[in-house]
Amino acid sequence: MPRTATRAVRLSLTVLLGASLRGEEGMWTFDNLPAARIQAQYGFAPDAAWLEHARLSALRLPGGSGAFVSGDGLVLTNHHVAHSWIEKIADAGHDYVKDGFIARDRSRELPVPGLEVRTLMAMEDVTAALKQAVPPSATDAEAGRVRKEALARLVQAAETRTGLASEPVTLYHGGETWIYSYQVHSDVRLVMAPEFGIAAFGRDWDNFTYPRHDLDFALFRVYEHGTPYHPAQHLRWSRTGLKAGDLTFVVGHPGRTSRLDTLAQMEAARDILTPFRLRSLDRARKALHAFAARGPEQARLVSGQLLSLENAYKISRNELDGLNDPAAMAKVAEAEHQLRAKVAQEPRLRPAGQSWALIQKAVQARCAIARESAMLDGRGSRALAFALGVARWKIQAAKPLAHRALGYRTPRDLEKVQAGLAFSDALDSGVEQASLAQGLREALEELGPAHPIVAALLDGYAPEDRAADLVTGTRLLDPAGRAALAEASPAAVQASPDPLVVLARKLELLSRPFIRQNEEADAVVAAEARRINQARFALYGKADYPDASFTLRISYGSVESCPGNGTLVQPFTTFGGLYDRADGWGPEAENHSWALPPRWRERRPALDPSTPLDFITSNDIIGGNSGSPVLDRRGELVGLVFDGNLATIAGRYYYDPRANRGVSVDGRAILEALAKVYDAPGLVQELLAPEPSGIVTP
């Protein structure tokens, strides 16, 4: 019988085996929280009601997390998660990113077209059903195809049965497969956002560091049928807050970890893939910085993209540092050695013994074509990426099933590709031209002028001239032009004279052998990783946690200091520390990185300087956890994750209990700012409202 979250949440009472997990390590699924371990360490563990309340209050946003925090559909997340959406509804006369925004009443809350938030309503384990669907004699390629098609049918059945948007979730590298079903909320309106200068105080200098002094939050409201939505559950705001040593839980959607990868996969990332990504990100951010330097309007147009690029660059740089840490990688190698030794000792597990070598060979094949594969994309242009997506979608849809690429095998695949292409905003020609010129220049520098891919991209022109020609000649900057292409027949797409579509057709043709080679390598990696993790399951069961996959997880930890700068870093920062840092740097330093917005200078006397602003905890987090609520043992909201220290970046590959710390905005700071800086007593009252009848909390 399928296990579903709507029936019960099973708490793991097993004792963790081995020494692979230490301290607060783990981004745990809601069906497998190590309750006994938490109870032994902290004298408390969440029960099923606590977990269901947290799950139904939690939200997934594009690229991040959030939560319902009132009975009238108020949503709390990070400013940096909301940044691009705030930027989207701004214009030349209303810079809501720079100046902030607050709706003085609900009639003034601003609709945010395209923004969706999702609540996880049900979880179904379909591992056994998929296993039964694959014939024992199937090859890896056949098994992959059969499994994919069977999973598509199961997802469709779940959507039909529940009426919810459902998606497959692979855990333990294929050891388990689930279907998660979401309620989708698409009428989302901006309620409040602080100024960028206070939300990102310290800018990139302070990013991934601590102590921090950022008020990185934003408030939205979900509507349904034109009125505020009333969620079944929402988080109660703590009136007392935290102190050092207190137990904390983070509930959110960590994006991706690779802790179950083999050593060969990590070494490939260290030696080839991450260095290449770093070069690419560095070129892109420099190009956009040059564009932003042309004037205030250009800077506004690319502020969200630059924020993402700088963040991605810093992440990649520090991931590479983590992969080059000899002591940490020695522990990874030793853990793999121990697992391989145990597999070799068990006759029933010996078929997995060759999996490590097969993965290494497949990864080497993928690395050999990594640069060429990367150049066959939109080259920084959203319009070209759209044209290429449409070309692939239309061409693949016209092929017989057996000849389609893996991502286009089922009708559901094609629907997903089509949905992923949709975006309604008009594209700025200056941004498109600058980004595309950089992408074309990168291809020239990486592959050389004689390469067939470069020849197709440049067509004999210099990168800047080619980008100008393509962008000025296309109709795809306009939403109507993109809609017309998406609705066109495959024959019409093949015949389109639009220069970006012409280029997209060339790139689609050139990409076919690389797609096939990558699919073959990916199939081997997936199959052999599944064998390794099946062996791991046979030895340890679910005593471990799966890699993050941007699905709902819970981690536990506590407010805890760590070594830094030859001493210990403080667990909390305060408003007093914010003003001290601003005074110490002055408003002009490093392009105004520590300059306070005007109202924060004006309202300084009104604020209690001892109010906690940010804090650190030992919770295991990663990118995607941004916007995750921090809960205390009562299940009340005490903070909002917005960053981690530098050690959390290497956390993609391993958790270091000595140094990994999540960084959060304190709930008390948000209330203090709303009341004394933004003159928003109505929002404070809504956040602190007593529970209405019918709302169940632990």
As to burial, measured by CB atoms within 10 angstroms (0-12 exposed, 13-18 middle, 19+ buried), residue 254 is buried
| 79: pLDDT strictly greater than 50 | yes
What are the residues facing 125 on neighbouring strands?
178
- Average pLDDT of every residue of the chain: 91
Q: What is the mean pLDDT of residues 659-683?
A: 97
> Are the beta carbons of 253 and 60 closer than 8 angstroms?
yes
Tokens 């969620």, located at residue: 231
**Of 168, 202, 111, which is closest to residue 587 (Cα–Cα)?**
202
Helix (H), strand (E) at residue 192 = strand 187-193
Beta strand 33-34 with 11-12 is: parallel
> Which residues have CB under 8 Å from 177's CB, separation 6+?
125, 126, 127, 130, 151, 168, 169, 170, 171
- Judged against a pLDDT cut of 70, whether residue 692 lies above it is answered with no
Instruction: Give the CA angle between residues 4, 186, 233 to the nearest 5°.
Output: 45
Taking residues 127-140, report their average pLDDT.
88
Task: Summarize pLDDT for 27-40 with one digit per residue, the tens.
Answer: 999 999 999 999 99
**Mean pLDDT confidence for 374-378:** 95
On the question of pLDDT at 547 being above 90, the answer is yes
Percentage of residues in the chain having pLDDT higher than 90: 76
Torsion over CA of 279, 280, 281 and 283, rounded to 10 degrees? 80
Buried b (16+ CB within 10 A) or exposed e, 644-663: bbbbbbbbbbbbbbebbbbb
Higher-confidence residue: 657 or 615?
615
Q: How far is CA 677 from CA 198, 202, 218, 650, in A?
A: 12, 20, 15, 37
Q: Is the pLDDT of residue 2 over 50?
A: no
Handedness of CA 271, 273, 274, 280 (dihedral sign): positive
Condensed to tens digits (0 to 9), the pLDDT of residues 162-174 reads 999 999 999 988 7
Query: In the 8-state DSSP scheme, what is residue 191?
Result: E
Phi-psi region of 172 (alpha: psi -120 to 50; beta: other; left: phi over 0): left
Tens-digit pLDDT profile for residues 224-257: 999 999 999 999 999 999 999 999 999 999 999 9
Q: Show Cβ contacts of residue 510 under 8 Å, excluding neighbours closer than 6 positions.
A: 376, 452, 453, 456
Positive or negative, the Cα torsion across 589, 593, 594, 599? positive
At 418 the pLDDT is 66
The mean pLDDT of 564-584, rounded to a whole number, is: 96
pLDDT at residue 556 greater than cutoff 80: yes
Residue 383 has pLDDT above 70, yes or no: yes
Q: Residue 67: in which H helix or E strand, if any?
A: strand 64-68
Distance CA 413, CA 419 (A): 10
Q: What domains lie within the chain, and their CATH numbers?
A: 11-116+186-258+546-687 (2.40.10.120), 132-185 (no CATH), 263-536 (no CATH)
For the segment 119-133, the average pLDDT, to the nearest whole number, is: 94
Least confident segment among 10-19, 65-74, 125-134, 446-455: 10-19
